[in-house]
Structure 1
Amino acid sequence: MKTSKIIDQIKNIVDFVKRQTWFFAALIALLSFIFLRKFIFDIRKVNNLDMQATFHFGDVLLVKKFGISLNTNDIVYIKFPEKDSTAPTTYFFQRLIGLPGDSIAIIDKVVYINGMPIEDTITIKHNYHIKTANAMDSLILARHNLTEGSAISEKNDYSFSLTKFKADSLKRLAVIESIELETEKDNSSDLSCFPYSINYKWNMDNYGKLYIPKKDDVILLDTINIVFYKRLIQDHEKNTLRIKNDSIFINDVLSKRYIVKRNYYFTLGDNRDNANDSRKWGFLPDNYIIGKSIWVIKQTKK
C-alpha cells in the first residue's frame, strides 16, 4: 500500500514537472517572438498607395530592423515625420533615394543623385493624360485595369496613374487618340512642396537641388535658408528656434551656424505623382527608419 502511494506521488511530481516544462517552454517561445518582433524582424502590411505598382495595398512584407545597411533604392518602413497631435502615429513603406551627404534634384520627373540620373524601375508610376475617340465605359476600364484615375472632362479626357509599360500598351488601342505624360512646369512653385517657400520655385516634377544633411555637418544659417532646417533643428533635434529681424536664435543663443546631430535621408513613393514623400515633408531622420523590406511574404495581386 505504501509503495503504491509513493508511486502515485512520484507520478504526480513528474506530471507537475512536465506541466511546468511546457509552461516555461511556451513562455520562452513567446518572449523570443516578442523580442524578434521588437528588435530583429517584423511583418507589416502595405497600408497606402504610395508604392504602387511595386507593392499594392494589403501586400505583406518582412522587415529587417537590426543590423541593416541602407542604400539607394532600398524599400524602407518609416515613421511619418510630420507631427499631428490629433492623429495616431503613421507608418508606411517608401523607396530610399537620398543618403546622408547626397544632393537630390528632379528635372522633368527624372531623379538625379549627385548630378547623375537614376533609372526608374519598371514599376514606377506617373500620371498620364489620355484622350479618347469615345467615352471609356466601366467595361473598358476594368478590362485594362484602369483604376487609379478618372475622367477630367466631358470631352473624353482622362487622367490615370500608369507605369510606362502600361501607357505604351494602351497607345495600341483603337479608342486611344493620345497619351501624354503630365508634367508640372519648371520654375513653377508648388507651396505644398518642402520647403514651402516662394523663394524656391519647386514642384513635384522639378525639385531641388537639395542637399541631404549628415551627422556633424556644419550648416551656415540665414533667414532665407532657415526654411530647410527649421523642422530639423526644432522637432528632430529638440532645440528652440526663434527668428527676430535678421537674427536667428537657437536655444536663445544668436546663431549663424548649426552642427547637425544625426543623419538624414530622402524618400520617394513609386506612385510618383500621388505619393506623400520627402518632396512634401523634407528630410527623414535616421531614427524614423524602422527597417527595410527584405522579402515579400504575401502579394494581393500577381
Structure 2
Amino acid sequence: MISIIVFVILTIVALFGLWKLLVKAGKQGWESIVPFYREYVFAKLTGRPTWHVYLLVIPIVNIFVFYGLYLDFVKSFGKFRFWEHAAAVLVPFIVLPMWANDPTVKYLGLSATEEFRKKYPYKKTMAREWADAIVFAIVAAYFIRSFVIELYFIPSGSMEKTLMTGDCIVVSKFHYGVRLPITPLAFPLAHHTMPLLGTKAYSTLIQWPYRRLPGLQAIKRNDIFVFNLPEEADPPLSRPIDKRENLIKRCVGAPGDIITLKESVLYVNGQPGFVPEEGLMDYFVFTDGTGLNPERMLDKRIEFYSAGQEPYQVFLTKAELADMKTWPNIKQIIPNIAKPSDVDQGEGIFPHHPSYHWNVDNFGPLQIPKKGWTVQLDSLTMPLYERAIRVYEGNEVEVKGQDIFINGVKSASYTFKMNYYWMMGDNRHNSRDARVWGLVPEDHIVGKPLIVLYSKDKDGAWFSSFRWNRTFKSIND
C-alpha cells in the first residue's frame, strides 16, 4: 500500500511539471492529463505527424511511440543532452517540475523539423552516439523480452524427452496475454540476480498489482508453458511474483479439474489423462550378468544408474522400452512404481500434512480451484487450499480451534479470485513439480513455448553436440 501511495504522489508531481510546461508552450495545462489527446498535443508541438497517435493502440509499439513523442517534446525546450533525456524518463517527477519553474527554460519550437535542427544545432559526440545506440539496444531488448518473446534454456531433465536439457526455446509472452510488470524497478535484462555480483537485480520499493493484457488464446489442458516457481514466495528468498525462478512443465490439470494419480496413471475428472509420447518413466532392469554397456547407453542418450550391482535404474520412453526388451542380455524390466501404502522418501508431497499420505504415484483426488469456485473450509480442505488463500490471494488466515478466520472474519467457505493450474513434468519420476509445491496461480504464468531454436547436448565435441534434428522443432502441437 505504501509503495502505491508513493507511486501516485510521484505521478502527480510529474504531471504537475508537465502541466506547467504545456502552459509555457501556449497550450492548456489540463491537456497534460488526457491520455491520447496529450500525445496528439505532443505531436503538434514537435512537428511529428499526428497519425503517430494511432500507433498508441498497438501493444509494445505504443511504448516506443510514446517515448519518441515525449523526448521530442523535451527537445522542444532545449533539452538535448543524454543525461537530460535519461532524467526525463527515469525521474520525471524531479526534472519536469524543475524545468517548468526555471524561467530560462522556454519553448523553442517544432523539434522534429529540419528548420529547428538548423536553428538549434546540437552535434553529438562519438561517446554520445555510442551511448544512445547502447541505451536504445538495451531498451529495445528489454521491451521485446518483457512483452514479445524471450529465450529460455531447459536446465534440467524434468520434461525429457519432450524437451531436453540443452534445448534453447522461444517463449511467446503474448499468446496467453502479456503480464504487465509487477516489479518495475529492476536491472534491464537480469531476472532476479545480478550477473557476476550475485546480488538482487530488483527493488520492491514499487509493486504494481497483477494485470494481464488480452491474449491470443486461452490455456488448454495439456499445454506446456513457462511459469514462476510458487514456493519462492517463502523465506529465505521471498521474491515478488515476476522475479521468481522460471520453470517449464505440462499443464495436466486446468481450473476446475479433479486430478488423481493411481500407481503412476494420471486421471483427470475420472478419465485417463494425457500420456506424453516422448515422456520418460524409470524401470528396474536386470541382465544376464553381462550388465549394460555404458557406450551403448551414451550413444542412445539413455540415462541410467547403478549402485554397483543389479538392478539398474533406467529412464526410458515407450519406444526405448520396446527396443530394450529386444536386447538379448535383458532378462527382466520392472516399472518403478510406488504402491499407495508406500511412504514418500523424497522432498515431501503436497499438501505436506499428516492427514494426507500421498506419494509421487498415488495422489489425490484434488480439485483445482477455478475463479469464482467456492470451497467449504474444514480440517480436510484447509491443508489443500490454505496456501492459495493466504499466500497467492493475499488474505490473513487464522485457525482457532475448529474455527477459521479470513481477514478477521469467521468463515465457513472461501470463493477463489484466480484460476489455478496443475503442472507436472513429462519425466514423471525425475520431476520436482506440483506434487511437491502444489497449485500454480494464473498470475505466475509467463508465456507459451513455440519452438526449439537450437539444442546442444552436454556430451560430445562442440560441433557434434548440436542436436540438429531438434532445430526449429515445434512445441505444444
Residue 340 of structure 2, aligned match among 165, 186, 211: 186
Q: Does 1:62 align with 2:216?
A: no
Q: Is the 8 A contact 1:50 1:276 kept in 2?
A: yes
Cα distance change, pair 252–144 in 1 and its aligned pair in 2 (3 A): same
Post-superposition shift, 1:161? 1.6
Q: Residue 282 of structure 2 contacts residue 315 of structure 2 at CA under 8 Å; is this kept in 1?
A: yes
Alpha-carbon distance in 2 for matches of 1:47, 1:106: 26
Output the CA distance in 2 between the equivalents of 1:150 and 1:108: 22
| Aligned equivalent of 1:123, options 278, 303, 307 | 278
Measure the CA separation in 1 of the matches of 2:375 and 2:146: 35
Q: Which residue is equivalent to 1:165?
A: 319
The AA in structure 1 aligned to 2:227 is I
Which residue does the alignment assign to 1:32? 140
CA contact (8 A) 1:152 1:159 kept: no
Q: Which residue of 1 aligns with 2:266?
A: 111
Of 21-30 and 208-217, deviating more is 21-30
Query: SS of 2:231's equivalent?
Result: coil
The alignment status of 1:208 with 2:364, answered yes or no, reads yes
Does structure 2 conserve the Cα–Cα contact (< 8 Å) formed by 1:101 and 1:213?
yes
More helix per residue: 1 or 2?
A: 2
Which runs of structure 2 are paired with 1:211-250 in the superposition (5 Å)? 211-250=367-406
Counterpart secondary structure, 2:359: coil
**Structure 1 position 187, deviation (Å):** 4.8
CA contact (8 A) 1:223 1:247 kept: no
> CA 1:143–1:37 in structure 2 vs 1: closer, same or farther (change >3 Å)?
closer
CA distance in 1, matches of 2:442, 2:391: 13
SS where residue 405 of structure 2 aligns?
A: strand
1:265 aligns with 2:418: no
Structure 1 partner of 2:55: none
- Inter-partner Cα distance in structure 2 for 1:137 and 1:35: 50
Q: Which residue of 2 aligns with 1:77?
A: 226
Q: Alignment partner for residue 47 of structure 1, among 155, 160, 172?
A: 155
Distance 2:147 2:425 in 1: 25
Greater strand fraction, Structure 1 or Structure 2:
1
Provide the secondary structure at the position in 2 that maps to 1:294. strand
Question: Does residue 293 of structure 1 match 2:442?
Answer: no
Report whether the alignment pairs 1:256 with 2:406.
Answer: no
Are 2:194 and 1:86 aligned?
A: no
More moved, 69-78 vs 26-35: 26-35
Q: Distance in 1 between matches of 2:342 and 2:353?
A: 12
Task: Specify the alignment match of 2:187 in structure 1.
Answer: none
Shift of 1:144: 4.0
> Is the 1:66–1:291 contact (alpha carbons within 8 Å) kept by the matching residues of 2?
yes
Deviation, 1:276, is 0.7
In 2, the alpha carbon distance for the partners of 1:198 and 1:231 equals 16
Report the residue type matching 1:115 in the other structure: G
With normalisation by structure 1, the TM-score equals: 0.86
Amino acid in structure 2 at the alignment position of 1:271: N
3-state SS of 1:249 partner: strand
Q: Which residue type is aligned with residue 280 of structure 2?
A: K
- The verdict on how the C-alpha distance between 1:29 and 1:152 changes in structure 2, with shifts beyond 3 A counting, is closer
Residue type matched to 1:267 in 2? M
Cα distance per residue 1:50-90 (max 9 Å; x no partner) = 11111122211111112422112221111111134335742
Based on CA coordinates, which of the two structures has the bigger radius of gyration?
Answer: 2
Contact (CA 8 Å) 2:175, 2:448: kept in 1 or not? Answer: no
* CA displacement 1:233-254 (0-9 Å, x = unmatched): 1111111212121111222221
Q: Say whether the 8 Å CA contact 1:45–1:61 is kept in structure 2.
A: yes
Q: CA deviation at 1:285?
A: 0.6
CA 15–237 in structure 1, closer or farther in 2 if over 3 Å, else same = closer
Q: Distance in 2 between matches of 1:144 and 1:60?
A: 21
AA matched with 1:249: F
Larger RCO: Structure 1 or Structure 2 (Cα < 8 Å, ≥ 6 residues apart)? 1
The structure-2 alpha-carbon separation of the partners of 1:297 and 1:119, relative to structure 1 and needing over 3 Å to count, comes to same
Residues 137-159 of structure 1: per-residue CA shift (max 9 Å, x gap): 53343344333x311462x2111
Identity of aligned residues (%): 30
8 Å CA contact retained: 2:252, 2:273: no
Q: Greater CA deviation, 57-66 or 133-142?
A: 133-142
Q: Structure 2: which 5+ runs fail to align?
A: 1-117, 177-217, 458-466, 468-477
Cα distance in 1 for residues equivalent to 2:128 and 2:295: 63
Aligned to 1:133: 288
Match of 1:100 in 2: 255
Segment drifting more, 37-46 vs 79-88: 79-88
What is the Cα-based RMSD across aligned positions, in Å? 2.6
Normalised to the residue count of structure 2, the TM-score between the two structures is: 0.56
Question: Residues of 1 paired with 2:174 and 2:395: CA distance?
Answer: 29
